Amino acid sequence: MTKTYYLTTPIYYVNGKPHIGHAYTSILCDTFARFHRMLGEPVFYITGTDEHGIKVQKAAQEQKKEPRAFVDEIVPQFKELWRVMGIQYDYFIRTTDDDHKKVVQKILADLEKKGDIYKAKYQGWYCTPCESFWTELQLKDGKCPDCNRAVDRLEEENYFFKLSKYQAWLIQYIEDHPAFIQPEYRKNEVLGFLKEPLEDLCITRPKARLTWGIEYPGSKDHVVYVWFDALVNYVTGAGYLQDDKKFKSLWPADIHLVGKDILRQHAVFWPIMLKTMGVEMPKLVFAHGWWRIGGAKMSKSVGNVVDPIAIVQKYGSDVLRYFLLNEVTLGLDGTYSEDLLAERYSSDLANSLGNLWHRTASMIEKYFEGKVPQGKQESRFYDPKGLWEDVSKAILSYDPREAVARIWAVITRANQRVEETKPWILAKDVSKKGELADVLFNLADSVAHVAVLLQAFMPDTAHKMLNRLKMTHGETIGHVSEFCKPLVTAGTVLEKGEPLFPRFEEKKS
Ligand code: ME8
C-alpha cells in the first residue's frame, strides 16, 4: 500500500477567534499538502480544535455559556477561516468527538495496566493559564517560567504519567534520529531541556477544579489533562484503534508542524506517549517561529491579534498566503505589519507578477490579435527543469521561502527579458515577426510554468492564470518531464482580464 503523506497542524484552542498566527501554520501545511498532491501522492491533512480544559471552560463562563454551546459557536469560525483561506484539509478533528474521547480513555487504561501511570498527591505551584505544574526551583522570580504570570499554590491528588522512566530512551532516540526535530537549533534546545531530570507528567485535574474534560477512566473525580487529550488527536484522526487499515496507510505522520511555543509537548511528551503505546514515532516535528507585532508575540492573551479575515477581505487570501510564506525562513520569527504586507503587495505582486502577466497578455493582444504565436522552444530564457527541481527540493525540505524565491527569480528574469528584447521595437520591423513570436511565445510559456507551480502557494491566482491561458491540463502536471514541455499552445486565445493585483491605490478606491 502506498504510504500517504500525512501532515498535521496543532489543534487550536477555541477560547477565542483564530488570528494570523493560526492562519500561518495552516497555510504552511496547506502549501505542503497541495504540493504533494500535485506530485500525485495521496495526502491526508488533518487539523481541528482543542476544546477541553481550563482556558475554554473559563472563556465559556465569561460569556455565561455552557462549554459545549460555547465551543459549538467557535468551531464554525475556524472552519470559515479555512474556507476563506483556501485551506484544503482532509479531516477536521474536534476533541469533543465521541470516537476521540473513547480512544483517549482506552490509551489511558492500557498505560495504567502497563504500570506507566500512578496516583499520587501533588504539592507545588500551578500556572492556570498555561495549565502547568511547577516546582519551587523551576519558578522564575516566583512566577511561571513560561508566561511570567503569577502562580497558585496547589495540593491535590492526581494521576501521573512516568515520563522520567523514558528520559534516557528519548535522548538516545533524538540523537540517533538527527532529523526528528527541526530546525536543528530546536533539536538542541530539546536536548538541552532533557539534560535536567524530567518530572513525571500530571495527566489529570480534579473535577472540583475542572469539569470540562474527558473523564479519566479509572476515577469519577478526575478529568484528563488537556494536553494528554490533545496530543492523542494525531492518532485518533488517523484511525488508531478504530480502523487498522487506515492507520497503517497514514502512520507514522510525515510532519507535525507546530509553533515553537508547543515544542516541548510535541518533542518530549508525545514521543514518550507513543513509545509506551508501542506506536512508531512520527517522522518529523518541525517548530516554526512566531509572528510578532512590535516586539511581542501575537497572541490572544496579549490581545494584539490581527484578524486574518479582515486582511483577506482587503487584499485577497493569496496575498496573505504570499506574505506569510515568503517573509521569513521557516523556523524564524517574523514581524507582521500591514504596511509591510502592502509593500510586498506592490513590489512583488503588482509590479512583478501582475506586471508580467499584464504586459505579456497586452503585447500578444496587440501584435498577434490575442492569440499565442508559434515560437521556438530553443529561445527559452529560463530552465524549467532546474525550476521544478529547485522548487521541489525546497518544499520537500520544508523551505517554502526558498521555493517562492526560485519562482520569483523566473518572474524577474521574464520581466528583464521584456526589457532586453523590446518587443515594441521588433514589432515595427516585419522581418522581425519571427523573433517577436519567439519572445512572446516564451514569455507566455514562462507565465504558464509559474502558474503551475504557484498552485501550491497562491491557489486562486494560479487558477486564474491557468484559466486565462486556457490551460485545462495545468492542474494535472505532476512530473518534471511534463513540466519541461512547452505548456502553452500556439493559437490559443488568451484572456487578458482585469489586473491580477490592481495597484493598491486603485484597490483602496
Ligand atoms: O497551543 N505566530 O493551541 P493554540 C505563529 N491547543 N504561530 C502562532 C502564533 C504566532 N504569534 N500564535 C499561535 C495550542 N500560533 C494547543 C495545541 S496540539 C496537540 C494542541 C500557532 O490555539 C502556532 O502553530 O494556542 C501555535 O503552535 C498554535 O497556533 C497554538 O495554538
DSSP string covering 236-272: HTTTTTT-HHHHHHHPSPSEEEEEGGGHHIIIIIHHH
CATH class of domain segment(s) 339-508: mainly alpha
Dump pLDDT digits (tens) for 282-324: 999 999 999 999 889 998 878 889 999 999 999 999 999 999 9
pLDDT the model gives residue 506 = 52
**Do the bridges between strand 291-293 and strand 334-335 make them parallel or antiparallel, or are there none, so unpaired?**
parallel
Dump pLDDT digits (tens) for 98-130: 999 999 999 999 999 999 999 999 888 998 878
Q: How far is the CA of 49 from the centre of ligand 1 (A)?
A: 11
Q: How far is the CA of 18 from the centre of ligand 1 (A)?
A: 10
Please report where in the chains the cell 474536534 appears, as a residue. Answer: 94
Q: How far is the CA of 456 from the centre of ligand 1 (A)?
A: 23
Residue with CA closest to ligand 1 atom 19: 231
Q: Kindly give the number of the ligand 1 atom that is closest to the alpha carbon of 50.
A: 6
Residue with CA closest to ligand 1 atom 3: 12
Q: For 209-354, where are the alpha helices, taking DSSP H only?
A: 226-231, 233-236, 244-250, 263-264, 270-277, 308-315, 317-327, 338-344
Instruction: Provide the grid cell at 458.
Output: 497562491
Nearest CA among 427, 424, 486, 494 for reference residue 466:
494
The backbone torsions φ and ψ at residue 13, rounded to the nearest 5 degrees and listed phi first, read -70, 145
**Facing residues of 158 across strands?**
120
Name 284's Cβ contacts closer than 8 Å, sequence gap at least 6: 179, 180, 181, 182, 254, 255, 256
**pTM for the full predicted model:** 0.96
Residue spans of the domains in the chain: they are: 339-508
Distance from C-alpha of 31 to C-alpha of 47, rounded to nearest angstrom: 14
pLDDT the model gives residue 303 = 85
HSE-CB at 125 with a 13 A cutoff on CA atoms is 17
Q: Is 259 in the pocket of ligand 1 (CB under 6 A)?
A: yes
pLDDT in tens, the chain (509 residues): 678 999 999 999 998 889 999 999 999 999 999 999 999 999 999 999 999 998 899 999 999 999 999 999 999 999 999 999 999 999 999 999 999 999 999 999 999 999 999 999 988 899 887 878 888 888 999 999 988 899 999 899 999 999 999 999 999 999 999 999 999 999 999 999 999 999 999 999 999 989 999 999 989 999 999 999 999 999 999 999 999 999 999 999 999 999 999 999 999 999 999 999 999 999 999 999 999 998 899 988 788 899 999 999 999 999 999 999 999 999 999 999 999 999 999 999 999 999 999 999 999 999 999 999 999 998 999 999 999 999 999 999 999 999 999 999 999 999 999 999 999 999 999 999 999 999 999 999 999 999 999 999 999 999 999 999 999 899 999 999 999 999 999 999 999 999 999 986 655 44
**Cβ contact 293:59 at 8 Å:** no
Q: Is 229 in the pocket of ligand 1 (CB under 6 A)?
A: no
**Do the bridges between strand 43-50 and strand 5-8 make them parallel or antiparallel, or are there none, so unpaired?**
parallel
Residue to mutate, 14, 260, 262, 328, ligand 1, most ligand atoms under 8 Å from C-beta: 262
Residue to mutate, 7, 14, 24, ligand 1, most ligand atoms under 8 Å from C-beta: 24
Residue with CA closest to ligand 1 atom 30: 12
Q: How far is the CA of 29 from the centre of ligand 1 (A)?
A: 13
**Cβ contact 330:43 at 8 Å:** no
Q: Is 13 in the pocket of ligand 1 (CB under 6 A)?
A: yes
Residue with CA closest to ligand 1 atom 12: 21
Cis check: omega of the bond before 145, within 30 degrees of 0: no
